[in-house]
Amino acid sequence: MRPTAKFSISFGLVTIPVAAYNATDTSASVSFVRIHRADGGRVRNQPVCSREGVEISPDEIGRGYRTDDDTVVPLTDDDLGALPLPTAKTLTILAFVAGGDIDPLQLGKGYYLGVDGPAAAKPYVLLRDAMERHQRVGLGKIALHGRETLAVIRPVEGVLVMQVLLWPHQIRPMDGVLPEREVTVAANEVRAAETLMDSFGELSEEDVHDHYREALEEIVAAKLAHRAPEFAAGAAQPAGRVTDLMAALQDSVRAAKEARGEVPAGEQAAARRTGTGGTGTGGTGTGGAAKKTATKKGTAQQTTAAKRTAAKKTAAGGKAAETAAAAKRTAGAGRGRRAG
């Protein structure tokens, strides 16, 4: 990699020359071009002079500062280089704080910081090890690309990483974001949500894969080949408004465990037979038996079980009593597992 900037970290009286390398690569992200819908022609942004009305080449474009009265004052690189900023070539550390004290909303572009010359190796390692042992990150200021900005440096796998921060005034207030009326949740609902959080497990490589880009490329390939796009079948997403929050939480925990193979196959089959694998999105019974079962169970997923039990009674005739007894035994086993 080639460095994008070189400067020094000022750590008290210790100076550490470093080179900054881009830590992120957005070139592989999905991007679109603007086109004319009528004929598919590209719509381009052409740099045009507002006074002459002609296109300007890149080497003719400079920088200017617009004042409050809309006057534009031209500025050269020499003008910007003459700014009396101690941060122009130095990342001045102002304080060491806990990482949790940094508002994630302020985090911006990241850079890897490497040593710039053999003499920088020892103070570099000293600062890195001290922050690791002290469990603190460095908060300071640096001027990058003609602008002064806040920055945080922290050790990551033996490397110092710098992340540009937005200024506090650049974070918008939260007015009007919270619900207009106060909402309360029961303690058992919070515990169920915590159980669901624990059931998620660790991230896998598949979880952090860019499936959107692959799907988009398949659509493009299908259009070029004049065929329908082919997508792998994915998991069905629950639809509808959740009317029973607790049932939805319990079903979500069960689904997460089934996805990781933590629920035995026999229990999965029993859940499917009794309808306890639903999404908790509500529903209404269609017969007397279904209504009674829904009243006893008190959840949308057990209403589904009642529907299926009622359907079996109608279709099986003399086997209705046997089917109902099996459903009760399965439901009782499910309550025992939840209580445990």
Instruction: Locate the domains of the chain by residue range.
Output: 5-25+54-168, 186-230+241-320
d(CA 338, CA 340): 5
d(CA 328, CA 332): 6
d(CA 141, CA 218): 45
pLDDT for 278: 42
Classified by CATH at the fold level, domain 5-25+54-168 comes out as Ku70; Chain: A; Domain 2 (2.40.290)
d(CA 288, CA 277): 23
Where do we find the tokens 């998620």? 200
Positions of the chain with pLDDT under 70 = 28, 84-87, 146, 234-243, 263-340
- What would the pLDDT profile of 25-35 be if each residue is shown by its tens digit? 877 677 888 99
pLDDT for 111: 95
| DSSP structural state of residue 69 | T
Q: Quick one: 8 exposed, middle or buried, by C-beta within 10 A (0-12, 13-18, 19+)?
A: middle
d(CA 279, CA 301): 7
Where do we find the tokens 């009265």? 69
Residues 6+ apart with CB under 8 A from 291: 285, 306
> pLDDT exceeding 70 applies to what percent of the chain?
71
d(CA 66, CA 64): 7
pLDDT for 292: 39
d(CA 47, CA 118): 45
pTM for this model (two decimals): 0.58
Contact (CB, 8 A) for 282 and 241: yes
pLDDT for 267: 58
